[in-house]
Structure 1
Amino acid sequence: MALYKNSQVVKHSDHAAFDAIHNPGIAAPDAGIYRCINCSHEIGIAKGHTLPPQHQNHPDGVAIKWQMVAFAQHK
């Protein structure tokens, strides 16, 4: 689970980007923290970088699916 210390630097959002589920091997549509919905592993990734097709400690035979949990907003 993503953690934070200073609540003044994070903001709640209902943006649809948080609802999308992404397959591994595609370009991350936004920079941020993504979580595997099947094993809870989290990664930080830049926009346009490839979402990993595998990661450590993922159960064999279980699909890797990524969901954004924190959006890195650029101004």
Structure 2
Amino acid sequence: MALYKSGAYLTQSDDAAFDKEYSPGTAPPHSGIYRCMGCHREVVAEEQRALPPQNHHQHTPSQGTVRWKMIVYADHSPK
């Protein structure tokens, strides 16, 4: 689970961008922290650069396939 020290740097959002899951090797449209929905491993990804490939880490059968979901969006346009 992603951790943070100060909530002053984070804003909660219900944007639909947080609902989409991405396959391994897919280039996400947003930079941020992505979480594998099967095993909960987290990675940092840059927009338009491929997420880790399928062989990045192994899953048990109960964890299903590797699928990445954005949990923290890195805003390049600070408010």
> TM-score surpassing 0.5?
yes
Q: In the alignment, what sits opposite 1:39?
A: 39
> Which of residues 62, 65, 70 in structure 2 aligns to 1:63?
65
Aligned to 1:13: 13
C-alpha distance in structure 2 between counterparts of 1:30 and 1:16, whole Å? 12
Q: What is the TM-score of this pair, normalised by structure 1?
A: 0.90
Deviation at 1:55, TM superposition (A): 2.4
Give ranges in structure 2 of 5+ residues lacking alignment.
none
**Cα displacement (A) at 1:9:** 0.4
- Name the aligned partner's letter for residue 55 of structure 1: H
Q: Hey, what's the Cα distance between the residues in 2 that align with 1:11 and 1:51?
A: 24
Relative to total residues, which structure has the larger helix share, 1 or 2? Answer: 2
Letter of the 1:74 counterpart? H
Give the secondary-structure state (helix, strand or coil) at the position aligned to 2:44.
strand
Cα offset for 1:60? Answer: 4.6
CA contact (8 A) 2:27 2:51 kept: yes
Distance 1:39 1:60 in 2: 9
Percent identity reads 41
Question: 2: CA distance between counterparts of 1:63 and 1:35?
Answer: 13
How many residues get paired? 74
Is there any run of 5+ residues in structure 1 with no aligned partner, and where? none
